[in-house]
Every structure is written in C-alpha cells, then in structure tokens.
Amino acid sequence: MSLFEFIKKSPKAELHLHIEGTLEPDQMFVLAKKNNIQIPFKSIDDVKRAYNFDNLDSFLKIYYEGTKVLVNEQDFFDLTWAYALKCKEENIVHTEIFFDPQTHTERGVKFDVVINGIYNALLKAEKQFGLSFKIIMCFLRHLDESPCFKILNQAILHKEKIFGVGLDSSEMGNPPSKFKRLFKKALENNFITVAHAGEEGPPKYIWEALKLLNVKRIDHGVQCIKDKKLVEELIKSQIPLTICPLSNIKLKIFKTLKDHNLKKMLDINLMVMVNSDDPAYFGGYLNQNLIEIQQALNLSRSEIKKLIINSFKSSFLTKIQKKDWINQIK
C-alpha cells in the first residue's frame, strides 16, 4: 500500500475543526439565496479570490461575513451533515468539532437553533455510519469576558450535547488570562476546557492557557518552540497540540509547508497531530493536510502513522475506544 493510500484508508480522528469553517463557497451562495441574505460576492470565483489572507484577522473578516447566511436550524444541520459526509469519505471515524455561538447570537440567531442543528446532524451520522463525536463550544476572544457568561449559561442548559468549551478568534492582544473567571465557571460545571494559543500569539499565551484555564489540549501551539521550558513541560505532560498545516500557510504563520515545524515537534516527542481547522477556506480537509505536509517534510510512513495514532491518543474518547481504533491502524 502506498503512503497516499495509507493516509486515505487509515481510520482517523479530527480534533481541530470549526464547523463554520466548512462552509464551501457554493453552499454559501445557496444559503444566501434561500435566506435572502446579501453577501459581498457576485460569484463563487469572487469568493475564492477573496480567500487570499494576510493574517488571522483578515481571514476572520471573510469568515464572519460568510456565517451570516446561516439562519435557521436546517442551515446548521445541512452545514454539519455536509462535513459528516466528508468524514465518511475521508475515513474520519471520530471528530471533535468547534462551534462559535456568539457569531450567530450576536446577529439574532437563537442558541438553541445553532446547537440543535449541529447536534442532530452529528447524531444522524453516528446512527447511519458510526461517526463518533464531541462538540466543543468556543468563546470569541475579541469580545469582553462579561457577555460570555450569558453564552456559558445557555451551554449549561445543553450540557448533554456540549462536551467542552474553548477559546478562538483574534489571538493577538486577547490573552487567555482575559477569560480566567469564565473558564473557572465552565470547569465548575464539568466542561472540559481547551484553547487556541500560540498560533500567532507568544508562548506566554500557552502558559496562561495551561495554568489559568486548566486546558487539556492546546489548539495550534506552534509558537511553543520559542520557549525551551514550555517545550519541556509539554513533552513531560503530553498535553496535545492540534496542528493545522494548511491553515498555518494560508494565515502566513509559516511561509511554506517546508518551513513548518511539525517534524521538529514530532521528533522531540511533542504530542502533535494533523487537523484541517477551516478547510473550506484553507484549501483542504484532513487527508489533504496529511498528504501535503507529508510531501513537504518528506515524512515517513512511521511518522504519518504516529500522527494518526496521536489523533486518537489526544481525543476525548475512552481508553478502550482509543485502543480499539489504534489497533486498526496497520
């Protein structure tokens, strides 16, 4: 079996996926027309041309523009179902997806509408083809901490659907420490915590996420390499880092995939794995990320296997579930 076939056929877990970031240009146009929403693009090609980003903030402007077409429960169901079918196609057997309720509630969409659409689609996928899942609700870090408590209170009402909480959006100038009280309340209500840190932001943000937010996983974390003590701590604790190669190139974290530090991180035994982040915007779903990073860094079969095994080890599946899937990676 070729390495390409090995990547395609191996069961995989995806741990860093924003469901709003799976909104493909053609789906955006269909929903805009259905819901009579004005978007600043005249064609699908216009959207694709706009997908040249300078940094995280320039991406987020287009990202938030696109989410305006998501209005009712069926829209969120259809969006999530399309991703679930992609999981089936790519042999992703377990996914832990992010959603950003504030992106929608800020424009008048009810929290229940968002979570029910997403959850019901994933439930259908679980029943139809065995896709297991966890849902992680993210707070938008460019907003103040105070209004986030209202969103957390709504999440508590849907605790059976929402497994954990995270932190995303504009990183620079919005350190994890800004949300210390919020995450304390989330932990008191038995939510697992994760956070985006060290994507564009400094290693200090990763330290804050670990110490102040008590996170079980760091999303991105590629800047950890700049802090020797932090690297030692991450190796010792085996706190996972959810790496998103194509995202890192699109957002200019690294100039090219050949410059990416994934292999270095893997070599020193950091708990890293590959994910797609916002695949509709960044040029590829999970398999494409694995294929392109393998080619760019000349990763061996054993290194790719380790990345895939790490995706299960780093998941919130039970120990038995993790073992069962890992045993199927040949």
The residues carrying an active-site annotation are 199
Q: Which residues of 296-305 are buried (b: 16+ CB within 10 A; e: fewer)?
A: bbebeeebbb
Cβ atoms within 10 Å of 128's Cβ, excluding its own: 12
* β pairing state of 12-18 and 92-99: parallel
* β pairing state of 132-140 and 272-274: unpaired
CA angle 64, 240, 122 (to 5 degrees): 50
Across the beta sheet with 217-220, the strand order is 12-18, 92-99, 132-140, 164-168, 192-197, 217-220, 241-243, 272-274
Distance CA 50, CA 59 (A): 9
Burial class of residue 274 (count of CB atoms within 10 Å of its CB; 0-12, 13-18, 19+): buried
Q: Which helix (H) or strand (E) holds 203?
A: helix 203-212
Neighbouring-strand partners of residue 192: 164
Residue with tokens 């919130």: 316
As given in the structure block, the two tokens for residue 77 are 């169901």
One-letter identity of residue 296: A
Residue with tokens 């996972």: 240
| CB-CB contact of 133 with 162 (8 Å) | no
| CB-CB contact of 195 with 176 (8 Å) | yes
